[in-house]
Amino acid sequence: MMEFFVNYGGVLFAMAGMFLAVTMGGIGSARGVGIAGEAAAGVIVEEPEKFAKSLILQLLPGTQGLYGFVIGVLAMLQVQAGMSFQEGFRIFLACLPVGFVGWKSAYYQAKVAAAGINILAKNEEHLFKGVIYAVMVETYAILAFVFSIMLLYTVTI
């Protein structure tokens, strides 16, 4: 068993990191886009002409899934057969910020986006105030994304 981890542990840890980055960001985004979509659907029933504007707010929580996907691909490009356990673990750790922050921030961004959709329903000319509120949550997903990139490309063990 120990020989297996010596030979393949690095690749397994790197793959686990890629899995977490992609799936956690994807799960958060899927949930977030769903929450905002439910709010948008309520507005569209009454005022279908607001579809495009509500779509802007619905799409915002989807970006965390994209960030996780990009980190997963960048990490995959660093995986090599026979890589050391330490190198695989480094890649694993580099994937965690975008995975965890993406998972949670997409949910909270969806809640803010749903509130922004309520602004759209009641007072259309104030829509972009709701967009700005939702983008503020996005800031933390972007910071985690950048940090994961920095960890992938600047830290060596």
Res. 27: pLDDT tops 80: yes
Domain spans of the chain? 2-154
With beta carbons less than 8 A apart as the criterion, state whether 61 and 36 touch: yes
pLDDT digits (tens, 9 = 90+) for 38-76: 999 999 999 999 999 999 999 999 999 999 999 999 999
Report how far residue 120's alpha carbon sits from residue 151's, in angstroms, rounded to the nearest whole number: 39
- Third-level CATH fold of 2-154: Four Helix Bundle (Hemerythrin (Met), subunit A) (1.20.120)
Report how far residue 149's alpha carbon sits from residue 145's, in angstroms, rounded to the nearest whole number: 6
Report, in angstroms and rounded to the nearest whole number, the Rg of the chain calculated over CA atoms.
Answer: 19
pLDDT digits (tens, 9 = 90+) for 120-157: 999 999 999 999 999 999 999 999 999 999 999 986 65
Report how far residue 103's alpha carbon sits from residue 127's, in angstroms, rounded to the nearest whole number: 25
* pTM as predicted: 0.90
Q: Retrieve residue 50's tokens.
A: 């607001």
Q: Retrieve residue 6's tokens.
A: 């010596």
